[in-house]
Amino acid sequence: MLKLCRQYLNWIQNSVFEGEITEVKLKELVEKAKHIMDDETDSIIIFKSRQEKWLEKQVVGLEKNDLDTFL
């Protein structure tokens, strides 16, 4: 799942991903994810904001991006 999500988005924390994505690409990602997830126990929660300026981001502590480059 991590590998799949990283093909479409940036990995920012444990099971959290972030990024700009088109509706078509997002549908593709969700469909692929459904095949590998367990509906009984797993969940994907998608927060969408049409404009980046509508969403303010604040990071406290370490930014995952620092690690991401080593993976």
The residue within the footprint of a copy of itself, chosen from 14, 35, 70, 71 (CB under 8 A), is 14
Closest CA to 17 of 27, 7, 32: 7
By CB under 8 A, residue 44 contacts a copy of itself: yes
Distance in angstroms (rounded) separating the CA atoms of residues 37 and 40: 9
The residue within the footprint of a copy of itself, chosen from 1, 13, 19, 68 (CB under 8 A), is 13
By CB under 8 A, residue 32 contacts a copy of itself: no
By CB under 8 A, residue 1 contacts a copy of itself: no
Please enumerate in sequence order all residues whose Cβ is within 8 A of that of 18, keeping only pairs 6 or more positions apart, or say none.
9, 10, 12
